[in-house]
Amino acid sequence: MEPFSINLNQSAEKGTRYKRLLIILAIIFLATSALAIIFLYKKESRLDWVFIGFGVYALVFVYFGFVGYNSKLFVNGDDYALEYQFGFFTKVPEKIIWQTISKVKLGPAYIAFFKRTGKKKNVQLGWLPYSKVVEIKEKVHQTCSEKGIEVEIADYHKG
């Protein structure tokens, strides 16, 4: 089996969508800050604690923006395991060892791995662009076929 690596860090996504999200959150922060200051100023109360709270919020906002922008998201597969990292704050990627899998179900926006122990591990892919979802599902299907793991393809039914 040939190893594969799918990079989920898309510069186009981070270039437009991520920056737009940060700008919208910054505008909301500035608007709520202005409203809180105006409200408390009319009540003639102390503004010291408000500014400390806004400062902490701003630092947390910058931290989450930095961590989110620098996160590494990927799906790797080889003869031994499927390794993936989707979260911003997880430092250790998750692994699914092929020898422990008895069946794989490919859904419209998920992959369900059924282990020999009877447990099931769902990997949600709905947040990814469609092209990446298709690429990941094709690689998993190809790997399962080579390893003799049963693959079930779930159909999407309108309810």
Residue 35 has pLDDT above 90, yes or no: no
Helices (H), the chain: 11-12, 19-42, 48-70, 130-147
**How much is the pLDDT for 11?**
45
Q: Which of 40, 70, 100 is the last residue of a domain?
A: 70
Plot region of 70 (φ>0 → left; ψ -120 to 50 → alpha; else → beta): alpha
How far the first Cα of the chain sits from its last, in Å, is: 39
* One domain for residues 128 and 102: yes
Last residue of a domain, one of 29, 53, 70: 70
Task: Find where tokens 């947390």 sit.
Answer: 60
Whether residues 49 and 77 share a domain: the answer is: no
Q: Is residue 47 part of a domain?
A: yes
Domain span at residue 31 reads 5-70
Residues 11 and 64 in one domain: yes
pTM listed for this prediction = 0.67
Residue 12, pLDDT score? 43
Tell which of 30, 48, 70 closes a domain: 70
| Alpha carbons 127 and 135: distance in angstroms, whole number | 14
- Per-residue pLDDT tens over the stretch 86-105: 876 667 889 999 999 999 99
Provide the domain count of the chain: 2
- Proportion of the chain above pLDDT 90, given as a percent: 40
Whether the pLDDT of residue 31 is over 80: the answer is yes
Q: Are residues 121 and 82 in the same domain?
A: yes
pLDDT of residue 140: 95
Is the pLDDT at 67 greater than 60, yes or no? yes
Same domain for 86 and 143:
yes
- Residue 135 is part of a domain; what is its CATH number? 2.30.29.30
Mean pLDDT of the chain: 83
- Co-location of 143 and 99 in the same domain: yes
Distance between CA 109 and CA 130 in Å, rounded?
9
